[in-house]
Amino acid sequence: MKKLILIIVSVLLLSLITFFMARLAPGDPLVSYYGDRVERMSMDERQHAIERLGLDGPILEQYVDWLKAALHGDFGISFKYKQDVLTVISGRLLNTLLLGGIGFILTFAFALLLAVVCAYKENTLLDRAICKVGTITSCIPEFWLSLVLILLFGVTWHLLPSSGAYALGMSHSVASRITHLILPLSVVVLSHLWYYAYMLRNKLLDETRQEYVLLARAKGLTRRQVMWKHCVRNLLPTMIAIMAISINHILGGTYIIEMVFSYPGIGTLSFESAKYHDYNMLMVLVIITGIIVIVGNILGQTISERIDYRMRAPESDGDLFADEKEVSRNA
């Protein structure tokens, strides 16, 4: 319940901030509704338009009006598509969630695997080689990696389609969707993989330094058993917390990749809106993205805390507080 309130307050604040930024911006707000037509408007028409759009009142009032309309599902009209903003977005949201979601899961699945391999083989040639290669991949910007893959698989070898979400007129063909997903998905995974794998590797190495590892080995468990049964299990809450805060990075990456592959998701939409100054659309896109991230964050944190709290005492701070720690523990 508390979390729900937190989500609502966060989303409201987010929309407020976005609204203010869009409205306080230098430039004519009418442009966002009428675009180039504004220049051809007479003074009367202008005045009329401003009143009709409620742009004459104080900004807070405008926000309240906007919010009221938004609660009824009316986010205004996209200038570029001449359509209700929500209609345009709803057609594409699923595409983005598909690409981002699968990418997210694959990224962390591979990251954990790599982390375990590296931690298990710590300081061996394999570990060092993975680290070197990983660092290089983590330095490649998403858009350039996409370009290179398109150049190789699309242009040079003609192996995989390099734009769109499905071949023309085949929106229901699963096979077509899958082949169109391969390249963008690889970029999503490749460009984020090492950042998180390295983080998990280091956390896992910290785990292998814990004394419980010695105890588990002293019991007679093999190294592999200790790694999977104890170290990875201890890593889980941390990993879920990392996953929670990583949503915005991976989503941001997905947007860029969508754009390069002309994938019809909300990422492509948002960059196009920016290009054509479709403020109304862009504002809603920012808010929707924010909602996805905030909900994901809080969900992840809640899960992680749940798991963690059951297992560990709430930590207190500072060594000078030795007494108090003990006291609160006894209580």
How many beta carbons lie within 10 A of that of residue 99, not counting itself? 26
Is residue 148 a contact point for other proteins (CB under 8 A)? Answer: yes
Query: Which residues pair with residue 78 across a beta bridge?
Result: 83
Closest contact distance (angstroms) between CB of 43 and other proteins is 25
How many beta carbons lie within 10 A of that of residue 148, not counting itself? 12
Closest contact distance (angstroms) between CB of 331 and other proteins is 5
Is residue 123 a contact point for other proteins (CB under 8 A)? Answer: yes
Residue span binding other proteins (CB under 8 A) among the ranges 60-68, 72-80, 103-111, 150-158: 150-158
Closest contact distance (angstroms) between CB of 11 and other proteins is 9
Is residue 284 a contact point for other proteins (CB under 8 A)? Answer: no
Is residue 183 a contact point for other proteins (CB under 8 A)? Answer: no
Is residue 218 a contact point for other proteins (CB under 8 A)? Answer: yes
Residue span binding other proteins (CB under 8 A) among the ranges 65-73, 101-109, 152-160, 166-174: 152-160
Q: Is residue 281 within 8 Å of 85, Cβ to Cβ? A: yes
Is residue 203 a contact point for other proteins (CB under 8 A)? Answer: no
Is residue 301 a contact point for other proteins (CB under 8 A)? Answer: no
- Helix, coil or strand: residue 140: coil
Under rule CB under 8 A, how many of the chain's residues touch other proteins? 98
Q: Is residue 160 within 8 Å of 153, Cβ to Cβ? A: yes
Which of 130, 127, 111, 107 has its CA nearest to residue 119?
A: 127
Is residue 251 a contact point for other proteins (CB under 8 A)? Answer: yes
Measured from the CB atom, is 89 or 231 closer to other proteins? 231
Is residue 228 a contact point for other proteins (CB under 8 A)? Answer: no
Is residue 135 a contact point for other proteins (CB under 8 A)? Answer: yes
Closest contact distance (angstroms) between CB of 247 and other proteins is 9
> Taking CA 292 as the corner, what is the angle to CA 73 and CA 134, rounded to the nearest 5 degrees?
155
Distance (Å, rounded) from C-alpha 4 to C-alpha 34?
Answer: 37
> Using CB under 8 A, which of 118, 193, 226, 241 touches other proteins?
226
Q: What is the DSSP string of 158-210?
A: --S--SSSSSTT-TT-HHHHHHHHHHHHHHHHHHHHHHHHHHHHHHHHHHHTS
> Using CB under 8 A, which of 8, 133, 136, 175 touches other proteins?
136
Is residue 221 a contact point for other proteins (CB under 8 A)? Answer: yes
* Contact set for other proteins, span 19-78 (CB under 8 A): 21-22, 25-27
User: Which is it for the CA torsion 316, 320, 325, 327, positive or negative?
Assistant: negative
Phi, psi (rounded to 5 degrees) for 153: -80, -30
